[in-house]
Amino acid sequence: MSETKTKQSVKLRYLVLSGVLAALVFVFTAYLHIPSGNGYTHAGDGVIYLAACILPTPYAIAVGVIGGALADGLSGFPIWIPATVLVKAVTALFFTQKSEKIVTLRNIFGIVPSLITCIIGYSVYEALVIANGVSKAGFIAAFQQIPAYCIQILVSSALFILVGLALDKTGFKKSLLK
């Protein structure tokens, strides 16, 4: 097989896998969630972490943005789409796909800045946009959602680690590039 065909084949695999993972982000966000505060708590971020550890960064960002925005828009929370686009795009940057393994120490540590980004991004957005302006009460109310965000990241992290370890055992990343 020529080098050009091989590169096209890998790009096609990345594109197809991106579509599948974006659909999973949507399902794990829109349909497998628990209402909390002004939104809901879900495990969709775990799929974004997986995508960011498997796919090149632009594909991983697309997975998070498309899956998350569709979930917000189609589950009755379209006001959150701008925040989701920004938060999920940044979230994908904390993980790397450069290792042969999905679950690495670096990727596990990527969960921490993901949590911080989720808390700050959504809380500031809620305080400014949802509360219609800058106020101390708006910020206090927004940051009271921190426990829900922590639970969301905890559940997402468990999904990421369990599925990532299972995929690592199968040699998934190596087979993706063959």
> Which pLDDT belongs to residue 38?
64
Residues of the chain with pLDDT under 70: 1, 38
> Which pLDDT belongs to residue 159?
97
The CA-atom distances, in angstroms, between 151 and each of 65, 103, 118, 119, 158 are: 21, 20, 11, 11, 11
> Which pLDDT belongs to residue 1?
54
DSSP 128: I
Alpha helices (runs of H) in the chain, residue ranges in sequence order: 3-26, 44-54, 57-74, 81-91, 105-109, 111-125, 136-143, 146-170, 172-176
Strand partners of residue 40: 35
Q: What is the pTM of this model?
A: 0.94
CA torsion sign for 35, 38, 43, 44 is positive
Per the CB < 8 A criterion, the answer to whether 136 and 92 are in contact is no
pLDDT one-digit tens code per residue, 17-51: 999 999 999 999 999 888 877 677 899 999 999 99
